[in-house]
């Protein structure tokens, strides 16, 4: 039976007459048929936050025939905004029933104007605010830190020049049939993208290799991993890269198509065209199971994939049922990084890896808000628990705490690195993101503790035990959701309290981290491919793919 999934928030579609953002002032004029309801109030609302902020628009209305025309004005210079996305939401009354709904109906003409002639406002406190245009026709604002490298009309000129150079030499560039590979933010080389690229560089003939390029910011620490293949590495956002991105036959990534460009960049025709024209091969970051993201990667959305890599028929059913891809678009190959997994754990050097995933409702929050979160309090309590230190001391083990990259800026809030603040012998190590290869930690650990992270599959693949610690499962299911029923289908014990977790850890350490039979048996259908040929299968499927031209503007502009 198909599990319930998270639904999009309610939306009220209006007839848009004007949408402007100038000098920090948002002006919206729209009309709504009277029979569809009356809008009592309009707000700018922070998206995804647990305790969202609301900023009210000044709202005027007058009747125009059988419609009501609304004029809304908000000066964001007068508000103290948090970094993130902000939706325009309406409080609508229909037949006495009051409902909050996202305002939708941004016209094609206005969307095109925002794309061709980007506009943004730089605030006095070092931030930038601009209309965010995606596949949906909703009124969304983004507020983030200002980046002088890209948030300028000079960079906009560079985009148009790259389009011009590509257009002039289009037959020459297209003939190259380029494959571009990247990972998160085009700044990493330690996930499926890197291992697939490495397979190509080490196993393909020169004629095949010359069209395959890894995209990375060469100032990023992970550049060292791809430096041996420097001839096939292209610098992220270089002028050459911008032309190659126009020409690429396939974009191959562990993440959404947006990761091939400046993260959260203002609107531009360059950005829209590359996203609309390019075929994406989705290597995935991990197995789809614990985190609902069908709204992000749905076949009908802006992140549509040409080929969707999965690891089993079990996972293929999830992608088919929830993401609505055809079974021929979903390739059962396994993940490239698993080809390089080798169990290097040792009972003479016991390691427990604690790696929780992120929470969408805590993204972009202040340090103060993060410190008050259930997430922080639970992990801070565990990492400073004297009983944990006693257990690690008793069994001569180390616990490595590796935080999710989206929470990397918060690592210092948990204490000093390497457990120095505890005064103990490095029994608990706080590992800043990127300071040690994640793959190395996954291979050297004897056991993993996680909540909903997909790295659980990497450890399970190696036939090592996983303990799930979903202390906020009810909140997670309400706000994020999963495809698997963790209470029934998890491949390791579930514990919800700190004392229960410590008991499980003690049991596993006492038994030399032996995996329980009931969890071992599930591997046959959850991870059937374990032959170190995942990258080879993916390469052959891409090479044999018959993908026609893709030219469409998602959401009809």
With pLDDT > 90 as the criterion, what percentage of the chain qualifies? 64
Average pLDDT rounded to a whole number, residues 180-184: 96
Query: Which range among 34-38, 297-301, 358-362, 537-541 shows the weakest confidence by mean pLDDT?
Result: 358-362
If one counts the domains in the chain, the total is 2
Helix extents (H) in 53-182: 108-116, 153-168, 170-175
The residue range of the domain holding 400 is 341-526
Q: What is the pLDDT of residue 410?
A: 75
**With 80 as the cut, is the pLDDT of residue 390 above it?**
yes
Other C-beta atoms lying within 10 Å of the C-beta of residue 141:
20
Q: What is the pLDDT of residue 228?
A: 97
Q: What is the pLDDT of residue 4?
A: 63
Residue 141 is assigned to a structural domain of this protein: yes
How high is the mean pLDDT of the chain? 89
**With 60 as the cut, is the pLDDT of residue 398 above it?**
yes
C-alpha distances in Å from residue 245, one per residue of 34, 182, 511: 47, 12, 53
Q: What is the pLDDT of residue 202?
A: 97
pLDDT per residue as tens digits for the range 270-321: 988 898 889 999 999 889 999 998 988 999 887 899 999 999 999 999 999 9
Average pLDDT rounded to a whole number, residues 545-549: 78
d(Cα 17, Cα 33) in Å, to the nearest integer?
Answer: 14
Average pLDDT rounded to a whole number, residues 204-231: 96
Residues 19-29 as b or e (16 or more Cβ within 10 Å = b): bbbeebebebb
Place 425 in a pLDDT band, splitting at 50, 70 and 90: low
d(Cα 135, Cα 280) in Å, to the nearest integer?
Answer: 16
**With 70 as the cut, is the pLDDT of residue 509 above it?**
yes
**With 50 as the cut, is the pLDDT of residue 421 above it?**
no
Place 549 in a pLDDT band, splitting at 50, 70 and 90: low
Beta bridge partners of 127: 145
Q: What is the pLDDT of residue 380?
A: 92
Residue 439 is assigned to a structural domain of this protein: yes
Q: What is the pLDDT of residue 328?
A: 93
**With 50 as the cut, is the pLDDT of residue 419 above it?**
no
Which range in 117-131, 408-422, 458-472 is most confidently predicted, on average pLDDT?
Answer: 458-472
Q: What is the pLDDT of residue 323?
A: 95
pLDDT per residue as tens digits for the range 426-452: 799 988 877 788 889 999 999 999 999
CATH of the domain at 448: 3.40.50.12580
What's the distance, Cα to Cα, between the start and end of the chain in Å?
Answer: 36
Place 265 in a pLDDT band, splitting at 50, 70 and 90: confident
**With 60 as the cut, is the pLDDT of residue 465 above it?**
yes
Token pair, residue 337, equals 């990084």
pLDDT per residue as tens digits for the range 319-364: 999 999 999 999 999 999 999 999 999 999 999 999 998 888 887 7
By 3-state DSSP, what share of the chain in percent is helix, strand and coil, each rounded to 5? 40, 25, 40
Q: What is the pLDDT of residue 52?
A: 75
Q: What is the pLDDT of residue 109?
A: 85
CATH of the domain at 52: 2.60.40
Q: What is the pLDDT of residue 550?
A: 61
| Secondary structure (DSSP) of 336-381 | GGGGG-----BTTBEEEEE-----GGGTT--HHHHHTSHHHHHHHH
Average pLDDT rounded to a whole number, residues 42-68: 89
Could you give the angle at which helices 386-394 and 498-510 cross, rounded to 10 degrees? Answer: 0
The residue among 145, 179, 208 that closes a domain is 145
Q: What is the pLDDT of residue 6?
A: 57
Higher pLDDT, 216 or 361: 216
pLDDT per residue as tens digits for the range 159-168: 999 999 999 9
Residue 414 is assigned to a structural domain of this protein: yes
With pLDDT > 70 as the criterion, what percentage of the chain qualifies? 94
Residue 189 is assigned to a structural domain of this protein: no
Average pLDDT rounded to a whole number, residues 96-109: 87
Q: Beginning with the edge strand found earlier in the chain, give each strand of the sheet holding 25-33 in spatial order.
A: 15-22, 25-33, 67-75, 58-64
**With 60 as the cut, is the pLDDT of residue 532 above it?**
yes
**With 80 as the cut, is the pLDDT of residue 31 above it?**
yes
Is 253 in contact with 193 (CB distance < 8 Å)?
Answer: yes
C-alpha distances in Å from residue 500, one per residue of 389, 425, 465, 523: 16, 25, 16, 25
d(Cα 205, Cα 133) in Å, to the nearest integer?
Answer: 42
Token pair, residue 547, equals 């993908």
Q: What is the pLDDT of residue 97?
A: 84
Long-range contacts of residues 383-387, Cβ cutoff 8 Å, at least 24 apart: 383/354, 383/414, 383/415, 383/428, 383/430, 384/415, 384/422, 385/498, 385/502, 387/502
Q: What is the DSSP letter of 322?
A: I
Q: What is the pLDDT of residue 230?
A: 96
Residue 496 is assigned to a structural domain of this protein: yes
Q: What's this model's pTM, rounded to 2 decimal places? A: 0.84
């Amino acid at each position: 039976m198909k599990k319930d999934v998270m639904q999009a928030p309610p939306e009220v579609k209006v007839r848009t007459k004007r949408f402007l953002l100038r000098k920090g002032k948002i002006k919206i004029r729209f009309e709504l048929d009277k029979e569809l309801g009356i809008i009592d109030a309009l707000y700018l609302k922070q998206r995804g936050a647990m305790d969202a902020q609301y900023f009210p628009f000044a709202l005027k209305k007058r009747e125009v025939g059988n419609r009501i025309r609304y004029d809304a004005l908000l000066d964001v210079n007068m508000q103290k905004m948090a970094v993130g996305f902000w939706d325009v939401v309406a409080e609508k009354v229909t037949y006495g029933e009051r409902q909050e709904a996202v305002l939708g109906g941004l016209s094609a003409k206005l969307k095109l104007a925002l794309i061709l002639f980007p506009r943004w406002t730089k605030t006095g406190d070092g931030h930038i605010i601009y209309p965010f245009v995606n596949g949906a026709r909703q009124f969304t604002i983004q507020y983030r830190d200002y980046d002088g490298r890209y948030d300028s009309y000079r960079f906009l000129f560079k985009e148009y020049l790259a389009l011009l150079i590509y257009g002039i030499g289009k037959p020459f560039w297209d003939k190259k049939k380029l494959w571009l590979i990247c990972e998160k933010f085009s700044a990493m080389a330690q996930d499926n993208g890197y291992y697939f690229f490495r397979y190509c560089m080490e196993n393909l003939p020169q004629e095949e290799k010359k069209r395959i390029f890894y995209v990375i910011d060469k100032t990023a620490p992970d550049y060292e991993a791809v430096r041996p293949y420097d001839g096939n590495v292209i610098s992220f956002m270089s002028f050459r890269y911008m032309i190659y991105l126009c020409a690429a036959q396939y974009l191959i990534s562990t993440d959404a198509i947006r990761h091939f460009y400046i993260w959260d960049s203002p609107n531009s025709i360059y950005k829209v065209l590359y996203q609309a024209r390019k075929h994406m091969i989705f290597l995935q970051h991990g197995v789809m199971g614990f985190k609902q993201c069908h709204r992000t990667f749905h076949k009908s959305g802006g992140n549509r994939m040409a080929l969707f890599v999965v690891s089993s028929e079990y996972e293929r059913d999830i992608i088919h049922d929830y993401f609505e891809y055809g079974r021929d678009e979903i390739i059962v190959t396994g993940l490239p990084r698993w080809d390089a997994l080798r169990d290097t754990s040792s009972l003479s050097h016991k390691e427990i890896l604690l790696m929780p995933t992120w929470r969408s409702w805590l993204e972009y929050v202040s340090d103060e808000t993060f410190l008050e979160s259930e997430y922080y309090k639970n992990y801070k309590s565990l990492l400073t628990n004297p009983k944990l230190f006693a257990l690690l001391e008793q069994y001569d083990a180390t616990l490595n705490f590796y935080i999710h990259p989206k929470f990397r800026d918060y690592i210092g809030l948990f204490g000093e690195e390497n457990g120095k603040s505890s005064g103990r012998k490095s029994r608990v190590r706080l590992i800043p993101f990127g300071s040690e290869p994640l793959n190395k930690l996954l291979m050297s650990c004897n056991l993993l503790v996680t909540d909903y992270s997909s790295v659980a599959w990497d450890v399970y693949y190696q036939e090592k035990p996983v303990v799930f610690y979903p202390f906020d499962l009810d909140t997670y299911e309400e706000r994020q959701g999963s495809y698997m029923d963790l209470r029934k289908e998890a491949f390791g014990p579930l514990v919800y309290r700190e004392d229960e977790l410590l008991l499980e850890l003690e049991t596993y350490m006492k038994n030399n981290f032996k995996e329980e039979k009931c969890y071992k048996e599930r591997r046959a259908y959850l991870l059937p491919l374990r032959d170190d040929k995942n990258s080879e299968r993916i390469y052959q499927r891409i090479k044999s793919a018959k993908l026609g031209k893709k030219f469409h503007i998602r959401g009809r502009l």
